[in-house]
Chain A
Amino acid sequence: MAVDLSVNKGKLKLKNPILTASGTFGYNFEYGRFVNVASLGAIVTKAISLEPRPGNDWQRICETYGGMINSIGLENVGIKKFIEEKLPFLIKGNVDFIVNLAGASIDEYVQLAQICEANNINAVELNVSCPNVKSGCLEFGTDETVLHNLVSQVREVYSGCLIVKLTPNVTSVEKIALAAQDAGADAVSAINTVKGLSVKIRYINGKFQKETVQGGLSGKAVKPIALGVVNRISQVLDIPIIGIGGIYSLDDVFEFLSVGADAVQIGTANFTHPDISERLIEELKDFMESNGFQSLNELKEKLRGE
C-alpha cells in the first residue's frame, strides 16, 4: 500500500515533507542532473530581491568545523528576471516551489509579494533573517513589532501560503514567531544561519596572515541550535513549522519532526551530497512502508509520543 507523505496544514500543502532550502538549490533545475526536482516536497528558491543584486565581494565562503560560513550578500537576478526566465521552467517542469523574498524595506517586501500574487505563485518565504546584508534584513526578524508590521502588510496583498523564515540570532524566538503568527503568517521556517566568524591564521615567512569570513554558519554544527528553536516555538505556535538546520540523514529528519516540525528543508547538505534531498524522500518512504506507517501524520504522532 502506498504511504501518504503529504503535509496538509492550513495553506501549507506539500506532497512530501522534504524541501530544499533557499540559497542552496538555485532557482529551478540547477540540481536536475542529480535529483528529480519535481519529486521534492518543494524547492525554496534563492532569495529574490526587487532589483538584481551583485552580492558581496571576495571571500564569500569558508568551511568550519561541522559546517560552513557564507557571506554571499544575496546575489540574485531580481524578481523581474526570475518571473521572466526562471518561473516558466518551474511551472513547465511541474515543480512545487516556494519563492524566497528579500527586501530592504517593508515597501519592497510588499511590492515583491504583489508581484508574486499577480503571477499566481502559491507560496512565498520571507527572508527576514539574512545576517549578511548590512542594510535592512537583520532588523525585520529581530524585532517583533517591526516583524509584525512587515508580515501584516505583506498579508494584505498576498493570498497564498505565507511563510516567515526565522533567525536564531535573537533573545526570544518565541516572541518573534508569535508576532509572525499574529500578523497572519501561514507557517514559519526555522532556522536561518547563525551569525559567526571564521578566522584562519597562517605563519608564513615570519608574518601572520589572517583570513576571515564573517557571515552565517550552517551545516551539521547548527543542528542542535535549530532543534532548540523548533522545540521552543512549537510550544507556542498553532501554525506549521518547517525545520531547517544541519539535516543530513533520515534520523535528523525524525529529530526535527519529533520536536514539532511538520516538514524540513535540506540546505548545506545539498553541497556535500547533491542527491540527498531525493534520497531522503526514498528513505522516508521505505521506512514508513517497512514499519507499517500509513501517513506522515501517524509517523509524527508516534515520534512525538502522542
Chain B
Amino acid sequence: MVVPKQNKSHKARITEASKVSRTLYYIKFKPETVFESKPGQFVSIFCPDHTLRRPFSIASLENNEIGVLFKKKGSGTEYIAGLKTGDTIDFLGALGNGFKFDINKKSLLIGAGVGVAPVYYLQTEIQNAGGNSRLIAGFMSKDEIPSNLSFDEVCTNDGTFGLKGSILDYVEQEIETYKPDVIYSCGPHIVLQKISETSQKYNIPCYVALEKVMACSIGVCRGCVIKLQKNGKIVNASVCQDGPVFKGDEIVWQ
C-alpha cells in the first residue's frame, strides 16, 4: 500500500453509522489508502449540493478506520447523518495541527458536548503510549451522552447522570485532586474560554481545540481567522491551518 501525501482528497467507505445518543451521531469510514492522523486534527467531508465541506475532529483511528462524532446542525450534517454502511464519502485530511502531548506529563482532558471527540482520541493515544491522563466530559443531560464512548467522569447539567452541574463547576476540583501538568479541552467557545482562564489561575498550560466555519480548510481563504496575542502583538491565525489547537492563554477571546 502506498502512503499518499496527507491532505489529498480521499474516497472512503462508511463502515459504521449509528445514532449514539439523542443528539449525537457516530460514523466510521475507511479510506482506500493508509491514513495517518494525530488527536486534534480534523477531516473535512464533502456534502453533495453544498459549497462548503464540513469539518469534524477525528474521534478515533483504528485499523485505518476514522471515527467522527457529530451533531445534526443543518443540511450538511443531515446528509452525513443519513449515510449508511457501504456508502462512499469524499473527504480531505488529516488537517490542522493537532494536540502535542507528552506521556511523562499528567494530562487532564475536558470535553463538553460534541467537543468530547478530539479529547477522546487524545485519551486513547496517551493511554496507548503508556501515559497518564484523565478524561472528564460534560453534557446537558443523560440522553446526550454517546453510548459508544467512555469517560473517567461525566457530569450533566440536569443531574440525570453522574455529577450534577456544568463541567465548569468541576474544573477547579479536578485540578486540585488530579493535579495535572497540562490541560486539553474542546467544547463550546465560552466553555473553553472559562477553562483557559481557570488553567491560567493555576498556572497550568492549557490547549484548546476550536471550532469555526471553514471554507478552504487549508489556510488559504482566511475565512476562519481568529486573533492571537503573541509576544505583545495581536496576530491573525487560521483555525484550519494554524489550529485548530491553540494555547488557551494566547487566544484573544471575543
Contact = CB atoms under 8 A, between A and B. Distances in A.
A23 to B, nearest CB: 7
B203 interface: no
B188 interface: no
Nearest to B74: A63
A68 interface: yes
For chain B, which range describes its interface: under 10, 10 to 19, 20 to 34, or 35 or more residues? 20 to 34
Contacts of A224: none
A24 B213 contact: no
Nearest to A219: B51
A75 B236 contact: yes
A284 interface: no
Contacts of B220: 24-26, 30-31, 46
Interface in A149-183: none
B236 A61 contact: no
Contacts of A58: 254
B9 interface: yes
A54 B236 contact: yes
B52 A271 contact: yes
Contacts of A61: 52, 213-215, 221, 223-224
B254 to A, nearest CB: 7
B46 A272 contact: yes
A225 to B, nearest CB: 16
Contacts, number: 84
Nearest to A275: B9
Contacts of B5: 33
Given A33-B7, A34-B8, A75-B225, A63 B218 contact: no
A271 B215 contact: yes
B242 to A, nearest CB: 13
A62 interface: yes
A72 B218 contact: no
Interface in B1-48: 5-9, 46
Contacts of B221: 23-24, 61, 70, 72, 271
Interface string A216-247: 00011000000000000000000000000000
B154 interface: no
A30 B222 contact: no
B216 interface: yes
Interface in B219-254: 219-225, 236, 254
A271 B236 contact: no
Interface of A: 23-26, 30-31, 33-34, 46, 54-55, 57-64, 66-68, 70, 72, 75, 219-220, 268, 270-275
10 contacts: A30-B218, A31-B218, A61-B223, A61-B224, A63-B51, A63-B76, A75-B222, A75-B236, A268-B51, A271-B216
Interface of B: 5-9, 46, 50-53, 76, 92, 213-225, 236, 254
Across the A-B interface, give the 8 residue pairs with the lowest CB-CB distance, nearest first: A61-B223, A26-B220, A271-B215, A75-B222, A63-B52, A219-B51, A30-B220, A33-B7
